[in-house]
Structure 1
């Protein structure tokens, strides 16, 4: 970096010196001409008057000296009688031979300013893009944008990948092949040319690809699928060719293409048909992976979240003929991932990775890395030297429930309504069968919600029963029912809008997708929305009569569970009041307090709660008089929302 700076300073100094010299040369000539120029007629008159003592003739330019020693300059317009006048009046004449310049020198002098401008332009182009045809230059559109990392630069190994044991086993033989290819070739075996890693975002697909290269000690080319596609036709195909040429020169090596669905979507779906730029790029990739020329030692690893949209030709044997699923880690995998990320963090003795792993179901590897980072930030804000278990709990609450909006304050009436709403969710969720245990209930505004009821499963779940789904329906309506019971039907707020939306969608999926309706049976009446269980649209092939029956079955499910939730809250009205009072006092209650209240005991204080000197809460959530009611109601469309905690079921 220092050498480059000195080089730039030297170049700019030379350029400035040249420009200054040219400026001084031309300005000097102009100044000299203005200060000593003499008209030719005046010159002849002064010669006749005897005022000129000496002249020096250089072509048409005459440099002379007066008798008083002052110099002058004039131009001979072609007077043939000049020499006679000078000799008649005894003027000393000095003549010079004309200076001869070569044609090349004349051309150089006339073109020097233009050449200087061209040189400066080339210098700037090299500084910005590496030259006309170099990397990043204007003629480098067809060059590959893949970033190469040598075997010494890739520091990641399979030991750094945790929570994906099955995926590591799948790619283990690729590492073995790159280390010792003759072991497989002697037996006639061929390693897969391409490996497609499929999984949700943040599960470690890119990390696993780097670990393969780091373990095998081979070069690693990394590129995104979007880097191939440009507005110019043919650029993407050219970049694919250039990338594979570079890979062949460094074989054995690994090419990693992230988000390959950007370029590998099924052909024929684009606006341009067969001439579409993206499809040309895909065709070139198909040829390079399994064309006439072999790519021995070049293994292509691609990652995507959407394997269902890829072109079938890309997935056939000989190309991406092996798919490795990198899914969300289980509780044991989460513990291993946490231990990997905790290596860089100074931990207190009370930190238990196993306990944190059990409380973070559904977290990906990226989520867990973020959890460790947030915990370290909490410790740093408190000027702590070690990260404790309490910091991890705060970080988990922040990720699951959102950031506490301490600046947003609530009125006592709004706070009381929110407390009953969240208590209704918690009581119904506690009493219905197969529901996830209540982890924490809070009326502290977090994110877009004014209150949160958070559930955490005791273990990872991979399928959901009809009983469990109906329990979720009941708990979702617990908040609205509690509002109506305590404050009356006219006082029910918009806070249950998200609860109603989620309950309706679960009931619709139970009837139309999951075959959990006794009347309609195990048939699918709606299309899957690309793997999303919560987003769907009506199937146009369903008759009007069936659509009516679907609506009736959905209504029957909702009514049955609404009535169950209403009965549970009516039978436990005293617990509802006690839990709302506890929330008004502490603002947040944990699982132990909920259990005490459900058993008819005193709630007790939260483990990390401290009263102020006057025995009351600090009032950080009270609504100021300047806060308008309209602003408060704006957030009520999403308040009391526990959707961030209670993940929707993912059935298979």
Structure 2
């Protein structure tokens, strides 16, 4: 009933009892059993006074909706806590003897058979590691003068460069080897160090160290990884100077590590393990080909020069792939062409022989790749110091692409110049330019090229200071997410005004358009050579760098760079 009607009946003294709720009244009238309801739309400060004046019994009652809301949220939180505890118990009870050291995440080798003679290509890292062997063999000699055994050593370098091999070689020379993988838990870490102390001198090796020791965030949630890391730090701090136990970590992401882990007193030494140079690659190939029958025409120095950027693991894979290819062809020895095909597999991926490509798609692919190859070759002829020579073109479908063009440097590059990046931009945009000029249409095949080109020019402008208009200031910075830890959940933010951001966008577009026009001009100028390369590519499907250069020489004025002599491609 309306509240005004209730007040009128209250004045007539026909109301017997009232129950006051949050926004309504439950009303019982005299000589009636039925309960009526009146909604209170606006708070009435005179309600209690009027009820007392009319001599009406009244009481208060909490709103049922409020109570049910609390019950609902209590239920939800209880369910979440239940499943969290259940998952925690499942992790803790995942094995029968879950605190013992001998589980699948920890392996103990009495003494690895690997020694420093089995490692090549990282000579400086080997030299820096040699002292550890003396520490482990004769700790008394160093402690006489007050020195102490390093508690921790961190190997830093890209994957496949030999960090694990180095740790095993140290153990093979002087101690036992205990390898720990991520996910062992705090209890197992305690037993791990106990086992290492009992078998000293020993080495505890933690591979993929960034997964365990990544920077801790500010989240209040329970995290087993942080418990494990805290326990590791406690155990390292507890190592006595006379205990011959060293912790070796290997990481390819040092930027992710917690600062409390890598401080002196825990990990005292950081040893860089870089990819090998040409001499290092030759030594690595010598080791991996010891048990392989090589052909008489094999020159490991030539193979080493043609595998710039390969790590030790890549070279091991190259050697194995070459041996397998030779075995498939029933050869008696591994020849140079087997190494070349194995290198193509590593660089470009396996051929998708079952994929049938239509004539139109094949023509688009050949046109696109010829654009890359022709512009690459012409730019190398003009500026060999700032351009990598062409290695190979292929329109055989491989991995995720219908074609690929590969260029390889003739020597190791340790410094990248502005001219080199700009030449790379021109080569990247040449595929789309060729499509537009020759086919009068644009395909989606240039998507990755355009993405790489855009990222490259933005890096030049925003991070490398290679733009006169924007200047030397670094425009982009990494903002770390506090709840996810350092370098996890990072966001790139521009530290600049809106006007500067617009200028950056304008410079990106202007540079891309300029290099795109340069690529188009090269293709137009060498039109006959372009058509001949496309025809040859459609016929053979694969062209080497030398074959492509010969086609260009027949149709264009093409001067061999003086600085490199005759063009030879690895």
Normalising by the residue count of structure 1, what TM-score does the alignment of the two structures yield? 0.66
2:206 to 257, 264, 267: 257
SS of the aligned residue for 2:397 comes to coil
Deviations 1:404-432 (A, max 9, x none): 12222323332222222211111111122
Distance 2:277 2:219 in 1: 39
Structure 2 residue corresponding to 1:582, chosen from 533, 536, 543: 536
Query: 2:462 & 2:195 partners in 1: Cα distance?
Result: 52
SS of residue in 2 equivalent to 1:267: coil
Contact 1:199-1:326 at 8 Å conserved across structures:
yes
Q: What is the CA–CA distance in structure 2 between the aligned matches of 1:276 and 1:158, rounded to whole Å? A: 39
Structure-2 residue corresponding to 1:423 = 370
Q: CA deviation at 1:284?
A: 2.0
The residue aligned with 1:126 is none
Q: Do the aligned residues in 2 keep the contact of 1:424 with 1:481 (CA within 8 Å)? A: yes
Counterparts in 2 of 1:511-526, with a 5 A limit?
511-526=461-476
From the superposition, tell whether residues 259 and 413 of structure 1 become closer, same or farther in structure 2 (CA, over 3 Å). closer
Partner of 1:468: 420
Note if contact 1:575-1:597 (Cα within 8 Å) is conserved in structure 2: yes
Q: Does 1:568 align with 2:522?
A: yes
Q: Is the Cα–Cα contact under 8 Å of residues 369 and 405 in structure 2 kept in the other structure?
A: yes
Q: Does structure 1 retain, via aligned residues, the 8 Å contact 2:99–2:191?
A: no
How far apart, CA to CA, are the structure 1 residues paired with 2:537 and 2:257?
51
Of the three residues 350, 355, 360, the one matched with 2:302 is 355
Q: Do the aligned residues in 2 keep the contact of 1:202 with 1:366 (CA within 8 Å)?
A: yes
- 1:283 Cα offset (Å): 2.1
**2:110 is matched with which residue: 150, 171, 177?**
150
Distance 2:389 2:240 in 1: 59
**Distance (Å, rounded) in 2 between the aligned partners of 1:333 and 1:365:** 9
1:242-253 pair list within 5 angstroms: 242-253=191-202
| Partners of 1:467 and 1:554 in 2: CA distance | 16
CA 376–188 in structure 1, closer or farther in 2 if over 3 Å, else same: same
- In the alignment, what sits opposite 1:483? 435
Alignment of 1:492-531 (within 5 A): 492-527=442-477
2:335 paired with 1:391: no
1:382 aligns with 2:334: no
Do the aligned residues in 1 keep the contact of 2:212 with 2:225 (CA within 8 Å)?
A: yes
1:183 Cα shift?
A: 2.1
Q: Counterpart of 1:317?
A: 264
In the alignment, the residues of structure 1 paired with residue 217 and residue 397 of structure 2 have an alpha-carbon distance, to the nearest angstrom, of: 49
What number of residue pairs does the alignment pair up?
Answer: 449
Equivalent of residue 136 in structure 2, options 163, 170, 178: 178
Report if the CA contact (8 A) 1:289-1:295 is conserved. Answer: no
- RMSD over aligned Cα atoms: 2.2
- Residues 1:457 and 2:409 are matched in the alignment: yes
SS at match of 2:289: helix
Alignment of 1:269-280 (within 5 A): 269-272=218-221, 276-280=223-227
In structure 2, the partner of 1:346 is: 293
CA contact (8 A) 1:335 1:357 kept: yes
Q: Which residue is 2:98 aligned to? A: 140
Give 1:303 deviation, angstroms: 0.9
Provide the secondary structure at the position in 2 that maps to 1:600. Answer: helix
Structure 2, unaligned runs of 5 or more: 1-92, 481-488, 557-570
**C-alpha offsets along residues 438-458 of structure 1, whole Å, 9 cap, x if unaligned?**
111111111121111110111
Structure 1 segments unaligned to the other structure (5+ residues): 1-134, 229-235, 603-652
* Bigger-Rg structure (1/2): 1
Alpha-carbon distance in 2 for matches of 1:409, 1:582: 19
Out of 138, 143, 160, the residue aligned to residue 202 of structure 1 is 160
Q: 1:144 and 1:288 mapped to 2: Cα distance?
A: 19
Q: Which residue of 2 aligns with 1:440?
A: 392
Is contact 2:428-2:453 (8 Å) kept?
yes
SS at match of 1:564: helix
Work out whether residues 144 and 242 of structure 1, in 8 Å CA contact, stay in contact via their aligned partners in 2: no
TM-score (norm 2): 0.75
Q: Aligned pair in 2 of structure 1 residues 578, 187: CA closer, same or farther (>3 Å)?
A: same
Q: 8 Å contact 2:285–2:300 — kept in the other structure?
A: yes
1:285–1:414 Cα change, 3 Å: closer
Aligned to 2:182: 225
1:372 paired to 2:300: no
Question: Any idea what SS the aligned residue of 1:463 has?
Answer: coil
Secondary structure, counterpart of 2:467 in structure 1: coil
What is the deviation of 1:269? 3.8
> 1:208: how far off?
0.7
Aligned equivalents of 2:507, 2:326: Cα separation in 1: 52
Q: What is the CA-CA distance between 1:156 and the residue it aligns to?
A: 0.1
8 A contact 2:149–2:244 mirrored in 1: no
Q: Report deviation, 1:382.
A: 0.7
Change over 3 Å in CA distance of 1:262–1:584 after alignment to 2: closer
Q: Which of 558, 564, 571 is the matching residue for 2:512?
A: 558
1:212 to 164, 170, 194: 170
| Aligned mates of 1:295, 1:559 — CA distance in 2 | 66
- Matching of residue 162 in structure 1 with residue 120 in structure 2: yes
Change (3 A) 1:584 1:525: same
Deviation for aligned residue 1:538: 4.4
User: What is the CA-CA distance between 1:313 and the residue it aligns to?
Assistant: 1.8
Say whether the 8 Å CA contact 1:225–1:261 is kept in structure 2: no
User: Which residue of structure 1 lines up, in the alignment, with residue 360 of structure 2?
Assistant: 413
**Contact map agreement 1:445 1:451 (CA 8 A) in 2:** yes
- Give me the whole-angstrom Cα distance separating, in 2, the residues matched to 1:564 and 1:293: 66
Residue deviations 1:453-483, cap 9 Å, x none?
A: 1101111112211111111111111111111
Q: Distance in 1 between matches of 2:523 and 2:434?
A: 7
Q: How many angstroms does 1:539 deviate by?
A: 1.4
Q: 2:230 aligns with which of 283, 294, 301?
A: 283
User: Partner residue of 1:14?
Assistant: none
Residues 284, 315 of structure 2: 8 Å contact kept: yes
CA 162–292 in structure 1, closer or farther in 2 if over 3 Å, else same: closer
What SS does the aligned partner of 1:147 have?
strand
2:479·2:492 contact (CA, 8 Å) conserved in 1? no
Question: Matched residues in 1 for 2:451 and 2:393: separation?
Answer: 21
Q: What SS does the aligned partner of 2:410 have?
A: coil
* CA deviation profile, 1:471-499 (whole Å, cap 9, x unmatched): 111111111111111121xx321111111
Q: CA deviation at 1:267?
A: 3.0
Is the Cα–Cα contact under 8 Å of residues 373 and 390 in structure 2 kept in the other structure?
A: yes
Relative distance call for 1:344 and 1:227 in structure 2 (3 A) is farther
